[in-house]
Chains A and B, each alone.
Chain A
Amino acid sequence: MMGVTGGIIGTLGMAYVFASEAAIEREAGLPYYRFLGLSWLEWGALCILAGLMNFTLIGFLQFPVATFGLLQIPTYPLALAASGALALIGAVRLTHRPGVALLTVLLLLLHTVLEELFVPWAIRTAVIQQGMSYRIPGSIPYFNVVDALLPLIFIVSALIVDGVAFWRQQHQYKLSGSTRGVWLLGIVITLPQLLIAPCLLLSSWDLPRVFLEQKGVAIPPDLKLQAALIAVPVILAVGVGGALMGANFGDIWRWNKR
């Protein structure tokens, strides 16, 4: 847990570096090259934010399982909700451009696909070259489609964030400054993640199935309701927290020149 906390702070620090350089460049008023409306430094900041989301995706084994009697609730969805809201809202507030939330998810997708192509291949090659054996015999890593496509969890959320930013821009509202209503955006963007994540992870729309890890046990409906009553509000609250942090960090990244 301490390692995860350190990793997140380090990644946020890199986002500060790219964003502050981008703010200095913007402030200088000199012409600079843009690709798809973004400077290279802003692209760098978006890559870092995609990296932060990827860090959450691959770090899921670090998150403990909260046990309430027979209920076993993984805390991993909390991290997903927080990092998704933080990165997507932060990206839009940093660049003031609708569409960058989706762009961040696409960068994340590129990241995970390349990672899935490279890491299993590197492990197999190293095992053959160095004559090692697998910790679990026969468990040879190959390209995993589900792991590669995990960023799709955030697609709908990104479209919502971009849609809201586009609407605000069309109606002459500012994209940064105020945090009013960000909590509602946090709830709205966390809901699709709650629905898509079990679908991707277990090919099921059944959220309690993700939570109630009981081999062969038929879970009675009242226990499912209990699980949902505990887990869903907590995850939505964490999504709101992530959205508020994203709004705050996004504004800092936009204006900070230090």
Chain B
Amino acid sequence: MCRSKILLAGASLMFACIAVFAILPAVARASGGPARTVTLAAGPYVVDVNLYQDPPVTDQAVEVTVIPHDSSLRLSGRIFMVPGLGTDAVELHSQLSPMGQSNTLVGTVRMPVRGAWQIMIQLDGQRGTGEASFAVTVAGPGAIPVWLGWLIALTPLLGVAWWLWQQRRYRLRLLAQAHME
């Protein structure tokens, strides 16, 4: 089979596979999940608030999703980050926006000072406005940056790559010997 036909077959298989996976009509509900989930009653709306890093770290954006228990609700809202007692900072806010066509709201929180904070969720919908809050403690930055940690952890892979390269050359030598014999 010529190279172009092989390439075409491989590409077709891959795209067929992607298409099958992409159109499967199920709702994703997996065993893992966010770092922390809080159920809040924000006025007339009962919602689950998912925080994707707990504790949040200073100056790092953390994803937040707000999922109403009543799946027919279409809400909009905002997140307020209010400094707690002893935390020297000012109030911040960010917008919650709907995720695709679903009723889930997505936003991010980013707090610049470590210590106690209140995350306040303000929601608007057909039943009016409601708000609720929960406390988080923002942690200080790590001893080394995340990228440096990964760089150190992946260093041995350089040695592995060199070893693989050597093995590839060794294989060619072995095959040449085998052909001569």
Q: Chain A residues in contact with chain B, CB under 8 A?
A: 1-2, 5-6, 9, 65, 67, 69-70, 72, 177, 181, 183-184, 187-188, 191, 194, 202, 204-210, 212-225, 228-229, 232-233, 236, 245, 248-249, 251-252, 255-256
Task: Tell me the complex Cα distance, A194–B17, Å.
Answer: 9
Q: Which residues of A contact B157 (CB under 8 A)?
A: 5
Which of B29, B34, B48, B160 is packed against the most chain A CB atoms within 10 Å?
B29
**CB atoms of A255 and B177 under 8 A apart:** yes
Q: Which of A1, A184, A214, A255 contacts B174 (CB 8 A)?
A: A255
Query: Known: A5-B160, A194-B17, A252-B170. Contact between A216 and B6, CB under 8 A?
Result: no
A interface footprint on B1-42 (CB within 8 Å = 1, 0 otherwise):
000001001100110011001111011111111100100000
Given A217-B67, A229-B18: A202 in contact with B154 (beta carbons within 8 A): no
- What A residues does B34 contact at CB under 8 A? 214-215
Chain A nearest Cβ from B113, distance in angstroms: 24
Whether A209 touches B18, Cβ cut-off 8 Å, given contacts A1-B153, A220-B99, A255-B178, is no
Tell whether B156 is near chain A: CB-to-CB under 8 Å: yes
Say whether A232 contacts B100, CB under 8 Å.
no
Given A191-B13, A208-B21; 19 other pairs, CB 8 A cutoff? A1-B154, A72-B32, A184-B10, A206-B21, A208-B28, A213-B30, A214-B29, A214-B33, A217-B65, A217-B102, A217-B104, A219-B27, A219-B28, A220-B100, A220-B101, A228-B18, A248-B167, A256-B170, A256-B174
* Residue in contact with A252 in the complex, picked from B6, B23, B160, B174, CB distance below 8 Å: B174
Tell me if B127 counts as interface (CB < 8 A to partner A): no
Interface range, B side: 35 or more
CB pairs A–B below 8 angstroms (24 shown): A1-B154, A5-B160, A70-B99, A206-B24, A209-B28, A209-B29, A214-B50, A215-B30, A215-B33, A215-B48, A216-B67, A217-B67, A219-B102, A221-B23, A222-B100, A223-B100, A229-B22, A232-B18, A245-B164, A251-B171, A251-B175, A255-B177, A255-B178, A256-B170
Inter-chain contact A212/B13, CB cutoff 8 Å: no
CB distance from A68 to the nearest CB of B (A): 11
Is B160's CB under 8 angstroms from A177's CB? no
Please report the number of residue pairs spanning A and B whose Cβ atoms sit closer than 8 angstroms: 141
Chain A residues with CB under 8 Å of B59's CB are: none
A249–B170 Cα gap in the complex (Å)? 10
Q: Decide if B138 is an interface residue (CB 8 Å cutoff).
A: no
- In the complex, the answer to whether B102 meets A202 with C-beta atoms within 8 Å is no
Binary per-residue interface labels of chain B (160-181) against chain A in the complex, 1 for a CB within 8 Å, 0 otherwise: 1001100110110011011000
Contact B6 A181 (CB under 8 A): yes
Check A232–B17 contact: CB distance below 8 A.
yes
Which among A194, A212, A252 has the highest number of chain B CB atoms within 10 Å?
A: A252
CB distance from B125 to the nearest CB of A (A): 17
> Given the complex, which residues of A lie within 8 Å of B124, measured CB to CB?
none
Tell whether, in the assembled complex, residue A252 and residue B21 are in contact, meaning their CB atoms are under 8 Å apart. Answer: no
The answer, yes or no, to whether B81 is at the interface (CB within 8 Å) is no
Cα A125 to Cα B174 with chains together (Å): 51
B109 contacts chain A at the CB level, 8 A cutoff = no
Cβ–Cβ contact B37 & A215, under 8 A: yes
Q: How far is the CA of A1 from the CA of B67 in the complex (A)?
A: 35
User: Is B131 in the interface zone, CB < 8 Å from A?
Assistant: no
Residue on B nearest A188 in the bound complex, by CB: B13
Assess the B24–A213 pair: CB atoms within 8 A.
no
* Residues in A neighbouring B168, C-beta threshold 8 A: 248
